[in-house]
């Protein structure tokens, strides 16, 4: 029986284990998906060695960047992002193993936002600077949208802080993507500190969060007539992409 799994720490709520095991059952696929909760990234080679039928892994916090030195190769876009959330395990002759890293967040995000884009959507603000934000940046770049990161503190040149978001700037940047955990259940009364009153029906607000279905960030955007979308479809699309990567 083939095996797939997830590495991370801690692994409390894993969407992947439920999704893939239900998929295997429904489609009659002789495989199982398991969680590998490893307290240290140095335990990663052990997971590979002790599971000879392991064909692929998902990677979650805090190992999306830490796992890279253990891999043999990175897919092109993934190398630019510098964060991996899918590993394909290729078992070669004489017991050799090749590990290739991919980022299915970029695939899921790009496929999910693309149908909502209009000709006036030329510039985007990305709220947050973590691994998911980097995937979003490269996804938007592939869609010919110029992006700027927004952070709570001044991190580097070219990164804006929230207090620099003027009405004029908001008029220019008509796509806003929330890559922060602000507003996630149970802290549903929080949202990123942007000037919501400057939003218009020309704006598209995309929230990577999906619990709750409609975040405060989205509600405040909708109140100004903006188009909004949560991250549930992206989550599903990146799971589809992972399955395709493992089986191509």
List, by residue number, the catalytic residues: 64
Pairing of strands 146-151, 123-127: parallel
Which residues, 6+ apart, have CB-to-CB distance to 13 below 8 Å? none
- 114 token code pair: 């693309």
- CA angle, 158 as apex, 203 and 69 as ends, to 5°? 105
For residue 119, how many other CB atoms are within 10 A of its CB? Answer: 5
How far apart are alpha carbons 64 and 222 in whole angstroms?
A: 33
CA 148 to centroid of chain Cα atoms: 17
Neighbour count for residue 28 (Cβ, 10 Å): 6
DSSP state of 142: H
């Amino acid at each position: 029986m083939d095996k797939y799994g997830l590495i991370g720490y801690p692994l409390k709520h894993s969407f992947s284990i439920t999704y893939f095991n239900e998929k295997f059952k429904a489609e009659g696929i002789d495989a199982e998906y398991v969680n590998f909760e490893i307290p240290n990234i140095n335990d990663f080679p052990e997971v590979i060695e002790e599971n000879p039928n392991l064909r692929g892994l998902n990677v979650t916090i805090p190992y999306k960047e830490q796992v890279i030195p253990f891999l043999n190769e990175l897919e092109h876009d993934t190398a630019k992002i510098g964060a991996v959330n899918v590993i394909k395990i290729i078992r070669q002759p004489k017991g050799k193993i090749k590990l290739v890293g991919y980022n299915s967040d970029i695939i899921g995000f790009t496929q999910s936002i693309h149908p909502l884009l209009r000709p006036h959507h030329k510039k985007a603000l990305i709220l947050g600077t973590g691994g998911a934000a980097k995937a979003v940046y490269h996804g938007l770049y592939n869609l010919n949208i110029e992006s700027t990161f927004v952070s709570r503190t001044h991190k580097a040149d070219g990164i804006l802080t929230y207090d620099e978001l003027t009405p004029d700037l908001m008029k220019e940047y008509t796509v806003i993507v929330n890559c922060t955990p602000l507003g996630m259940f149970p802290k549903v009364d929080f949202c990123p500190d942007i000037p919501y009153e400057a939003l218009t029906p020309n704006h598209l607000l995309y929230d990577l969060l999906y619990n709750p279905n409609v975040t405060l960030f989205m509600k405040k955007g909708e109140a100004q007539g903006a188009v909004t979308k949560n991250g549930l479809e992206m989550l599903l699309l990146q799971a589809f992409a992972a399955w395709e990567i493992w089986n191509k």
